[in-house]
Amino acid sequence: MKSTLKVGHRGAKGYISENTLPSIQKALDLNVDGIEIDVHLCASGELVVFHDFTLDRMTNGTGEIGKQTLSQLQNLLVDGKYKIPTLTEVLDLIHAKCLLNIELKGEKTALPTVKLLHQYFDKGTWTYNNVLISSFQRKELEAVYNFDERMSLGVLTKASVNASIRFAKTINAVAIHPNFALLSKNNVKEAQDEGFKVNAWTVNDFESIERIKSYGVDAIISDFPDRI
Ligand code: G3P
Ligand code: CA
Q: Give the number of the ligand closest to the Cα of residue 34.
A: 1
Tens-level pLDDT at each residue, the chain (228 residues): 579 999 999 999 999 999 999 999 999 999 999 999 999 999 999 999 999 999 999 999 999 999 999 999 999 999 999 999 999 999 999 999 999 999 999 999 999 999 999 999 999 999 999 999 999 999 999 999 999 999 999 999 999 999 999 999 999 999 999 999 999 999 999 999 999 999 999 999 999 999 999 999 999 999 999 999
Q: Give the number of the ligand closest to the Cα of residue 158.
A: 1
| Concatenated DSSP letters of 163-216 | HHHHHHHHTT-SEEEEBGGG--HHHHHHHHHTT-EEEEB---SHHHHHHHHHTT
Between CA 162 and CA 35 the distance in angstroms is 26
Answer whether 192's CB lies under 8 Å from 216's CB.
yes
Instruction: Give residues (CB < 6 A) around ligand 1.
Output: 9, 36, 38, 51, 103, 134, 156, 177, 201-202, 221
Ligand 1 nearest-atom number relative to CA 136 = 5
Ligand 1 nearest-atom number relative to CA 36 = 1
Answer whether 62's CB lies under 8 Å from 55's CB.
yes
Q: What is the pTM assigned to this prediction?
A: 0.98
pLDDT for res 18: 99
Question: 179-209 burial by CB neighbour count: b if 16+ within 10 A, else e?
Answer: ebebbeeebbeebbeeebbbbbbbbbeeebb
Q: Give the number of the ligand closest to the Cα of residue 156.
A: 1
Residue bearing the CA closest to ligand 1, atom 7: 51
Answer whether 217's CB lies under 8 Å from 188's CB.
yes
Between CA 9 and CA 134 the distance in angstroms is 13
Pocket test for ligand 1, best of 7, 40, 202, 204 (most atoms within 8 A of CB): 202
Distance 135 CA to ligand 2 centre (A): 8
| Concatenated DSSP letters of 73-129 | HHT--BTTTBPPPBHHHHHHHHTTSSEEEEEE-STT-HHHHHHHHHHHHHHTS--GG
Q: What is the DSSP letter of 54?
A: B
Pocket test for ligand 1, best of 5, 7, 9, 155 (most atoms within 8 A of CB): 9
Burial class of residue 21 (count of CB atoms within 10 Å of its CB; 0-12, 13-18, 19+): buried
Q: Give the number of the ligand closest to the Cα of residue 49.
A: 2
Strand (E) or helix (H) holding 24: helix 21-29
Neighbours of ion ligand 2 (CB under 5 A): 38, 103
Residue bearing the CA closest to ligand 1, atom 3: 201
Between CA 115 and CA 103 the distance in angstroms is 15
Pocket test for ligand 1, best of 39, 51, 164 (most atoms within 8 A of CB): 51
Between CA 110 and CA 124 the distance in angstroms is 21
